[in-house]
Structure 1
């Protein structure tokens, strides 16, 4: 047992030395290999690597994944109209040159974030200060983001950082100008509403006048057609009456007299004062129902 203990101690020491000579680089990391305090190699490919044990060689790992800087406190930026806007933005960035990044910031990502935040603020001011509120909010928003991205990317490149994207998430008016802006917007909307109402009223009158004109034309045409049909009907009726009267004048005269009697005696209290020999009772004086001969 006493012979095995030194061997186990030696084995542990050998394993410790071997483990200090081996290091792993993961997919998300970049590794800087230092030899006596100086960067000897930069490793960006994942895998298993070997080195001399400390203090001869050391390894520093940097996160090379895409990272986000979110501005939780909106920046107060002034436009060309001297109006203050509150702009909330975010930036996507990653380490592009590990050696240069370490020389600039060491292994401190917080320092890189602070430097990039300051550069973003400067670029945002430069892009917004020369534009109006309308241009910033609506018409030139994409152009502003493109300018900021180009500006920040150019200034971040010497730091070993690659900026991939810049976005303006929200743009609000500062509290001191919100009320005046809303009042102006309300006045503009009212003016537009009045214009639309006036246009609608004019269109309504035009449509109503056109409909009345078409109605009058339709009524006139219908009346003319009705009078034409009525005239044709009256002509046909007169022809039928004339033909019937011509075939049997006595019957026609009797029929018309009966209609006259019906109309004359339709009421229970009707009273007529006539001579029995009058023309009205000419068929009553004949037992055969014939019209008496004219003297």
Structure 2
């Protein structure tokens, strides 16, 4: 029996950064959950495979049983995808899928990932914001979210990421991914920017991503008179202008390069998933990451 309102709206998680660019990256899930349309249902963390974790509402049942009841693919037939930006936000994920008529039924689980940090992509997104991108930092341990997507959902998310992002397969042996249960994933997909990573002019290191979008855009405008002339004077004018025309986005992206801010992304190249280029989905075998291994 349902005991509380688990709608995204009531939980404050219904925001869609694609529609409100200055809210990027949106609010991520606070705990292991099953996104089910407009609701976010709690998952009871257990040792062993994800499909044996329990969904708490409206009737306590195993996750795989709940997915079957919804007519959706079980966890063993899904693909784990690490989110580094708005794909960790249930409102954004639901928006991306439901506007295409695809059921937004997606297990979403916080993980700790070693060797990955989050920066800012070297381009301006179609919505007008500067999105996040992962980069390799062997000293980092970063809290991220893994979404488990079926083949149709994976294709839909690919379509929102390409050509600005490429998909790679991170092996668990090289990038330790720890679930809330303490178990480790054998592997997971991740999207990384095809445009490189923005550097902080003061340090020449990747500029940290995932924070307040308005602060980021204000800092970029402060550092570049050309950006102020093109997209200024403030973050609100930036997203309004950049979100209205691809020409301004292209010019703004070019300024990033002209200012010398863009660091190339090469560390992910050995892990690039070539099947994503071929756009073949039904034949993709689930990664080993679908089945956690013992710590």
Q: Which has the higher strand share?
A: 2
The normalised TM-score by structure 1 is 0.20
Q: Which has the higher helix share?
A: 1
Higher relative CO (Cα under 8 Å, sequence separation at least 6) belongs to 2
Instruction: Specify the structure having the higher radius of gyration (Cα).
Output: 1
The normalised TM-score by structure 2 is 0.20
